[in-house]
Amino acid sequence: MNTSVKDTMESTFAGWTETVGNAMLEGEARMSTRNTDVFYGDKQAIFGVDLDIGKNEVLAMIGPSGCGKSTFLRTLNRMNDTIDICKIKGEILLDGENIYDKNMDVVSLRARVGMVFQKPNPFPKSIYDNVAYGPRIHGLVSRRAELDEVVETALRKASIWDEVKDRLDQPATGLSGGQQQRLCIARTIAVSPEVILMDEPCSALDPIATARIEELIAELSENYTIAIVTHSMQQAARVSTRTAYFHLGRLIEVGSTDKIFTAPDHKLTEDYITGRFG
């Protein structure tokens, strides 16, 4: 053990060439990144990541803190645009279109690639207005009745409808943490995105609320492509079909979740999932 983790990592990166496992899919991918680098000023946070996210799959991204998995997730719907010093190289494709292309409008991109954040962040408005906000700003519905239907469907899909149907006009901030997070998921699916990005959606929740969100992820994967960043390996194992392991800004290994958690090919992956560090 005293041939410490640091040594292992250094020796690994000395000869690091490319990702182990099936990062590219054989069929058609919903999203794919090609040789993607991300820089914060002079500091490089992501090193040449090639990764496909398939249709209707749940891809989990795991790795120790600071490995760049959240940064990578946020490049997928250009949330990093708000950070001035953040620069992105390489290609990121959504259904074959480069999302960093000049012709790609960031507003419509984010309507197609929705995001759920680490901390539940409902607007300090009513429950109804939270869910209706997306359809409203994009002009997706023309009549009030239609909007009512969209709100109800979204809340049902996020399995929170029964809890809030009698108090849609009450402030969303009065809900519990788990309910708030499911409301945020409802808010995201109300604009009917193709991909949903989730950045540690359960890290602020208790185990029961977490279990409900995980069930919800399984249900949503029937209709949506989901990329989820998580710190909990158990959660990755429970909800995902494929798992990607990130380490110090590099994508180390990708594979089916079963394979990653039972027989990882890479030494770093094995060390991480067996709990030697991280």
Q: Which residues bind other proteins (CB under 8 A)?
A: 77, 79, 82, 84, 107-111, 114-115, 117, 119, 121-124, 133-134, 137-138, 171, 173, 184, 187-188, 191
Q: Tell the smallest beta-carbon distance from residue 64 to other proteins (Å).
A: 24
> DSSP 3-state assignment of 111?
helix
Question: Which 3-state string (H, E, C) describes 223-239?
Answer: CCEEEEECCCHHHHHHH
Q: For other proteins, which is the closer residue by CB, 191 or 237?
A: 191
Residue corresponding to tokens 């990607």: 244
- Phi, psi (deg, nearest 5) at residue 15: -110, 20
Amino acid found at 173: T
Q: For other proteins, which is the closer residue by CB, 173 or 221?
A: 173
How far is Cα 155 from Cα 131, in angstroms, rounded to an integer? 8
Q: Tell the smallest beta-carbon distance from residue 209 to other proteins (Å).
A: 18
Q: Which two tokens stand for residue 113?
A: 């690639």
Q: Tell the smallest beta-carbon distance from residue 174 to other proteins (Å).
A: 8
Closest among 58, 62, 84 to 72, alpha carbons compared:
62
Q: Tell the smallest beta-carbon distance from residue 119 to other proteins (Å).
A: 6
Q: Are 213 and 29 in contact (CB under 8 A)?
A: no
Q: For other proteins, which is the closer residue by CB, 114 or 278?
A: 114
Q: Tell the smallest beta-carbon distance from residue 193 to other proteins (Å).
A: 9
Q: For other proteins, which is the closer residue by CB, 16 or 117?
A: 117
Q: For other proteins, which is the closer residue by CB, 24 or 106?
A: 106
